[in-house]
Structure 1
């Protein structure tokens, strides 16, 4: 059953934004000060034009007009310069904040329990790391600075309008009710709408990823039409979600446009009436009308950009939600007493109420090699993952040196037990960077020793730049056997005492079987090994064989002992050799 990663609530989002602001007080207040100064410089034009209208009415000279035009030009230049530096500082602040957001998200993602990632699937995380990060980047780089400028400009302009006379507040306040009603209606619905929209993108990505990764199975079982229908259903859900948010915008923005006109029209009408009553001058009416007219642009930007900020807030809530996944381990601070691995009365379930392991007990001697065999779906891989500390048991315990695996920090755990699967990955970067991931701070001598141990040093040194050769996506391509050797060299650097090998035989590529067999043997040398044997030939050489059936260990002993016992293992062995 697919689970969904959590989404942070509004309080968590506000708290995080506040923490970011507190990290950069000088840049934040500096940018705000520049924006205020730029807005104040922009207020000179309406005042000067109002004075000019009044002077023309009273009679003026060409020199006076020239002086006002010159002052207008000066204030325009000052406003342009201040705005330029204010925007620049805001952009720099935005980039720093975005970088910190990304780093925090990566840290939180890497700290996710592996079991949670597997249950949630790759689609949700892919959407958060791609679309949500991109949307947030736009909000932080562009929307938030522009919105800040608009808010500052609107506040300063409104105060300037009131300085003309108390009567200007009346038309301005009459425009507030439709604006507030529209905003409340929109904001009440927008966040949930955009979160639902983002969730549909996650579902589309999840379905597409599963279809692509299982393409051979889809083709073999003739599931193509069913998968297409699943994608169609996901797209239909996304269409409904996007149509809903589009409906919100098509209702909200036209109403806002009407609300903007009310203050301007009322200021002109009311000011004109007061002028006819000789209560205000023509210059004051002109100045007030220009100020109120100036309010339209920042208020419009506040409302328009609010839509982008809603998208950004929804994306930020999804990114912060990753940090709210509860940890699956409780570090006790105890140090293991040796490397003895043991499972005691272990039970585990992926779905509540349906255990897949039922009271499993297993003691693994230091340096022992155990093969786990059994029919498909019996629980071998699940038990292997618990023995590697990937999942905590529902009940019972899995310990190394009498300390629970879930009591150890991940870095310490991987020094004791590591899981090796058929999956291997070469990250974008140099060969050296790919290897020292396993043990940061490793010297070149350590790296070369690890490569030599897996019979990979010769081909790495033959690369154009040796350890500094860029590999991975966009870099130099490495073959599948070479990628396997890099993965094994990482293990040598990590130096875990115990290895749990799940489908370990898939590491052996027939095209390079001899080299890879030597590589794997070098990694296994001197270590405790638990091999989940999907093919029985590897079980023959193990010290003991554990037969897993229906979530239990039904038989445990050496190969010869189990064959002689004539039980399940003997039947599997005979069947594998075609004697059943």
Structure 2
């Protein structure tokens, strides 16, 4: 059984190393046991009903064996009417319980699938924000869509059908042994062929299916990145390079598809050989025993019929177990989110105060390539700080570190003396909030969109939050006010309105420290200025760190930190930095376009 060799697998070329891990066998088995515990009553009912269906199906072979034995013994009366009546009743009972088995199996599968989806969603939402932000788009899409789809059939059919087949095969084997123990030798003769074929197949199949799934994720990633960056690809004339990359990813994926298909071409004939061997073994052994009067012809007839019936459950076991190999890979990828843990997280860690500090912080997205270099910063409670600097200087990265989205590579960021990276994500979100340019409006009533920040908020509080961000005017003009359905397929909101909804959520969440990364960038300059003034009144007394590209935000701040090349080059108030004539003064002159004497006076046009 040599034949085709597995394709060469290059983890880098298939982007095998992803941020989200693939769960190990221990985690997968623990999760499966947990699912079975949750549904143990339904599972026990399925097994019980299936047992009754199988027992009813075995009545026919025993009745027929009895008739054959009576004929062989020369009986004058065969009682065919009674036999047919019993057989008919058995068929009716079997049909009833088979229907129950299918119904109970489908219900059990759907419930387990629903649990799996819910568990994945809940665990994914609870992941550290930095993990989700840095995870590959293709890997996330493949897990959410493809892996769930692959598991759907396994949960709906494979798991219930496998349980049914195991019970079915066990009862049939027991029936053969009870009828004529010697016929069990026929099963033993064929068993080594089945075991050898399955051992060969299942040694290779899991790795092949894992590589196939990783290859598909790489294809999805390449296509998603190409679509997302379409304009950039056109500008830089990268069309041919992206096409070549996509073709290479598809070629690698299809190689693994062909390899797993070849594995099945070995397994299926092995099962067919096993079926032939088991039936011929039972007939040959039974024939010898009948000729030597060690067994009756009726026993042989019953045993042969039961052996023939054994073909179907054994085939089901192997077929659905093969299906579970594919499902196991998808399950491992979905359950893998359970293995994303912060080794430094301490549930007992709580801040003692509101002062935010950074001490010799270094951070890089790639190993050996730091974006921030030894940044130190102190933000007293209630301070309004602006981070300014040229594009690519590291402002947004520093903001995400201060918001607890990322953990520093070295150095510490503390809130009230407690390490921000050591606190659970839920506790960090209670203290610090990040608002950036990316705002999502969920499909549903506007009221529900706002209550994401505070579930029990009253309508009066919702209107107050909307008023604080100058959004109450357009909301009152909506057809049903707060009950208006918004989002895709409903009332569309503009990017600026979506930004106002996000800021209203921020007002409702009421954290004491805010990191605003161009939070008003989608508004026109005058509207942004008015909104920031309104927010200034609402956020009075809170710590605000604003990543500013419009320097009027910096002008209003208590302190300005100038970030250049991943370092803080200047720190002070607007007037101090303009008077110093350094990098901030140059930015102010470039942005403001005012005469030098007016700049020094802090005039705002």
What is aligned with 1:90? 105
Instruction: Report if aligned partners of 1:113, 1:328 keep a CA contact under 8 Å in 2.
Output: no
What is aligned with 2:79? 64
Q: Is 2:98 aligned against 1:99?
A: no
Question: Which of these residues, 35, 50, 74, is aligned with residue 50 of structure 2?
Answer: 35
What is aligned with 1:184? 199
Secondary structure of 2:79's counterpart equals helix
Question: Which of these residues, 8, 18, 22, is aligned with residue 7 of structure 1?
Answer: 22
Tell me, in whole angstroms, the C-alpha distance in 2 between the residues paired with 1:383 and 1:531: 11
Q: 1:60 to 1:517 in 2, by over 3 A?
A: farther
Q: 1:71 to 1:141 in 2, by over 3 A?
A: same
What is aligned with 2:7? none
Question: Which of these residues, 446, 449, 455, is aligned with residue 440 of structure 1?
Answer: 455
What is aligned with 1:348? 363
What is aligned with 1:295? 310
Tell me, in whole angstroms, the C-alpha distance in 1 between the residues paired with 2:553 and 2:244: 42
Question: Which of these residues, 367, 372, 375, is aligned with residue 360 of structure 1?
Answer: 375
What is aligned with 2:208? 193
Question: Which of these residues, 432, 437, 441, is aligned with residue 422 of structure 1?
Answer: 437
Question: Which of these residues, 19, 27, 48, is aligned with residue 63 of structure 2?
Answer: 48
What is aligned with 1:256? 271
Instruction: Report if aligned partners of 1:455, 1:518 keep a CA contact under 8 Å in 2.
Output: no
Question: Which of these residues, 220, 224, 235, is aligned with residue 205 of structure 1?
Answer: 220
Secondary structure of 2:317's counterpart equals helix
Secondary structure of 1:6's counterpart equals coil
Tell me, in whole angstroms, the C-alpha distance in 2 between the residues paired with 1:519 and 1:219: 41
What is aligned with 2:299? 284
Q: 1:522 to 1:106 in 2, by over 3 A?
A: farther
Tell me, in whole angstroms, the C-alpha distance in 2 between the residues paired with 1:508 and 1:338: 34
Question: Which of these residues, 36, 44, 47, is aligned with residue 21 of structure 1?
Answer: 36
Secondary structure of 2:365's counterpart equals strand
Tell me, in whole angstroms, the C-alpha distance in 2 between the residues paired with 1:443 and 1:411: 23
Tell me, in whole angstroms, the C-alpha distance in 1 between the residues paired with 2:581 and 2:460: 51
Displacement of 1:354 in angstroms is 3.0
Tell me, in whole angstroms, the C-alpha distance in 2 between the residues paired with 1:357 and 1:513: 29
Secondary structure of 1:185's counterpart equals helix
Q: 1:468 to 1:4 in 2, by over 3 A?
A: same
Q: Is 2:170 aligned against 1:126?
A: no
Secondary structure of 1:376's counterpart equals coil
Question: Which of these residues, 302, 313, 320, is aligned with residue 305 of structure 1?
Answer: 320
Larger CA deviation: 263-272 vs 66-75: 263-272
How does 1:324-403 map onto structure 2 within 5 Å?
324-327=339-342, 330-331=345-346, 333-403=348-418
What is aligned with 2:496? 481
What is aligned with 2:90? 75
Give the count of matched residue pairs: 580
Displacement of 1:188 in angstroms is 0.8
Tell me, in whole angstroms, the C-alpha distance in 2 between the residues paired with 1:470 and 1:185: 56
Tell me, in whole angstroms, the C-alpha distance in 2 between the residues paired with 1:501 and 1:492: 13
Displacement of 1:180 in angstroms is 0.3
Instruction: Report if aligned partners of 1:333, 1:407 keep a CA contact under 8 Å in 2.
Output: no
Tell me, in whole angstroms, the C-alpha distance in 1 between the residues paired with 2:291 and 2:195: 32
Q: Is 2:475 aligned against 1:463?
A: no
Tell me, in whole angstroms, the C-alpha distance in 2 between the residues paired with 1:252 and 1:172: 19
Displacement of 1:89 in angstroms is 2.4
Which ranges in structure 2 are unaligned for 5 or more consecutive residues? Answer: 1-14, 597-605
Displacement of 1:152 in angstroms is 0.7
Displacement of 1:172 in angstroms is 0.8
Secondary structure of 1:355's counterpart equals coil
Secondary structure of 2:256's counterpart equals helix
Instruction: Report if aligned partners of 1:488, 1:523 keep a CA contact under 8 Å in 2.
Output: no
Runs of 4+ in 1 over 6 A off after TM superposition: none
Secondary structure of 2:387's counterpart equals strand
Tell me, in whole angstroms, the C-alpha distance in 2 between the residues paired with 1:196 and 1:173: 35
**TM-score scaled to structure 1, two decimals?**
0.94
What is aligned with 1:228? 243
